[in-house]
Structure 1
Amino acid sequence: MDNKILFIGLIVGAANFLFRYLPLRLGANRSSAGTAGKMGVILDSIGIASICSLLIISSIPDVMKEHHKFFPTLIGCMAICFFFYKTRSIIISTLSGAIVFGIIFKVFMN
């Protein structure tokens, strides 16, 4: 097995785990509803974890072939996280990340 594939799998797995685990730990003080509150945090974090995991997995082969796409991809992923943190909407964060990626790619790559 190629070491790159193992390394990518470990990175994606760790990121997915952290997207599911950290909201529980950071949101524990905010929730006074007990288990129902924690379940809500889990369900809310699954969407953004799925979007970010799919983004990373789908962009790694493209970035490895064309290194100039790394910066726009990184900024787009950060935009997804930022907009999700501010709005808690998967739709707004995904669309915003795509728009930011497109703008950064167009401005810096041409």
Structure 2
Amino acid sequence: PTPPIVPRPKPMMTGMAHLGHLVIYLLFIVLPVIGLVMMYNRGNPWVAFGITMPHAAEANFERVDMLKSWHVTLANLGYFVIGLHAIAALMHHYFWKDNTLLRMMPRKRN
């Protein structure tokens, strides 16, 4: 089990941490799916892991452009959230002086 954070953070901080992690995990799923749908809608054969993947009979470049816009926007959101995540981790360690970073480190075996 993961050790608790000492001193215990305020509920709002815990909620913000959960929200940030949720956004990161959703982006890990949504961004690749959008990329796959873009590849499908280009209408060209493409290969993933050595397997020829299905593609649309006719290309739909309007949809590809829309998906590309979403992909770029969500990727930029991801960069922003990951940056906030890193800043929050450093603030926990240096500003609030709790054990958030230390509890993520592997334990030394005796």
Fold shared per TM-score above 0.5: no
Structure with a larger share of its residues in strand: 2
- Larger Rg: 1 or 2? 2
TM range (shorter): 0.3 to 0.5
Structure with more relative contact order (C-alpha pairs < 8 Å, separation 6 or more):
2
Structure with a larger share of its residues in helix: 1
